[in-house]
A and B are shown apart, each in its own frame.
Chain A
Amino acid sequence: MTKLRHWLGTSDLAGIALLALLVFVVMPLSTDIFRLNLIGKYLTYAFVAVGLVMLWGYGGILSLGQGVFFGLGGYCMAMFLKLEASDPISTKIQSTPGIPDFMDWNQITALPTWWEPFRHLPFAILALLVIPTLLAFIVGFAMFKRRVGGVYFAIITQAVALILTVLIIGQQGYTGGVNGMTDLKTMLGWDIRTDSARYILYFVNAILLFAAIFACRAIQKSKLGTLMLAMRDKEDRVRFSGYDVANFKVFVFCLAAMLCGIGGAMFSLQVGFMSPSFVGIVPSIEMVIFAAVGGRMSLVGAVFGTLLVNFGKTYFSESFPQLWLFLMAALFIGVVMAFPNGLAGLFEDYVKPWLLRTRAKQPDVPPAEPVVEETTRSVASRTGDSVEPLPAPTAGRLGPAVA
Chain B
Amino acid sequence: MSNTDYVLAVEDLTVSFDGFKAIDNLTLYVDRGELRVIIGPNGAGKTTLLDLICGRTKASGGSIKFKNEEMTDLAEHAIVRAGIGRKFQTPSIYENLSVWKNLEVSFPRGRGVFGALAFRCTDDVKDRIQEVATEIGLAGQLELEAGLLSHGQKQWLEIGMLLMQDPELLMLDEPIAGMSVRERELTAELLGRICQNRSMIVIEHDMDFVKRIAHKVTVMHQGKILAEGAMEKVQADPRVIDVYLGH
A contact set with B: CB distance below 8 Å = 219, 222-224, 226-227, 229-230, 233-234, 236-245, 247-248, 251, 373, 376-377, 380-381, 383, 390, 392-393, 396-397
Q: Is the CB of A240 within 8 A of B54?
A: yes
- List the B side residues contacting A243 at CB < 8 Å: 77, 111
Contact of B95 among A242, A373, A390, A397 (CB under 8 A): A390
- List the A side residues contacting B56 at CB < 8 Å: 236, 240
Q: Is the CB of B116 within 8 A of A227?
A: yes
Cα A396 to Cα B154 in complex, Å, equals 15
Confirm or deny: B76 has a beta carbon within 8 angstroms of a beta carbon on chain A. yes
Contact of B94 among A230, A245, A248, A376 (CB under 8 A): A230
Contact of A381 among B54, B96, B106, B112 (CB under 8 A): B96
Cα A329 to Cα B153 in complex, Å, equals 46
Q: Is the CB of A229 within 8 A of B77?
A: no
The total of Cβ contacts below 8 Å across the A-B interface reads 104
Cα A163 to Cα B9 in complex, Å, equals 50
Contact of A240 among B80, B110, B145 (CB under 8 A): B80
- The bracket for how many chain B residues form the interface is 35 or more
Q: Is the CB of B105 within 8 A of A227?
A: yes
Confirm or deny: B93 has a beta carbon within 8 angstroms of a beta carbon on chain A. yes
Can you list 13 A-B contacts with CB-CB less than 8 angstroms, sorted by A residue number?
Answer: A219-B117, A222-B117, A226-B104, A230-B94, A234-B92, A237-B92, A237-B93, A237-B94, A242-B77, A380-B147, A390-B96, A392-B145, A392-B147
Cα A251 to Cα B145 in complex, Å, equals 27
Q: Which of B25-33, B81-89, B190-198 contacts A (4 or more CB under 8 A)?
A: B81-89
Confirm or deny: B161 has a beta carbon within 8 angstroms of a beta carbon on chain A. yes
Confirm or deny: B184 has a beta carbon within 8 angstroms of a beta carbon on chain A. no
- List the A side residues contacting B104 at CB < 8 Å: 223, 226
- List the B side residues contacting A227 at CB < 8 Å: 105, 116
A244 and B77 in contact, given A376-B148, A390-B95 (Cβ under 8 angstroms) = yes
Q: Is the CB of B101 within 8 A of A233?
A: no
- List the B side residues contacting A233 at CB < 8 Å: 94-97
Cα A179 to Cα B68 in complex, Å, equals 64
Q: Which of A243, A244, A245, A397 has the most CB of B within 10 A?
A: A243
Cα A223 to Cα B120 in complex, Å, equals 8
Q: Which of A239, A241, A251, A381 has the most CB of B within 10 A?
A: A241
**Other A-B pairs beyond A229-B96, A377-B145, 11, CB < 8 Å:** A223-B110, A226-B104, A226-B105, A233-B95, A241-B106, A381-B96, A390-B95, A390-B96, A392-B147, A392-B148, A396-B145
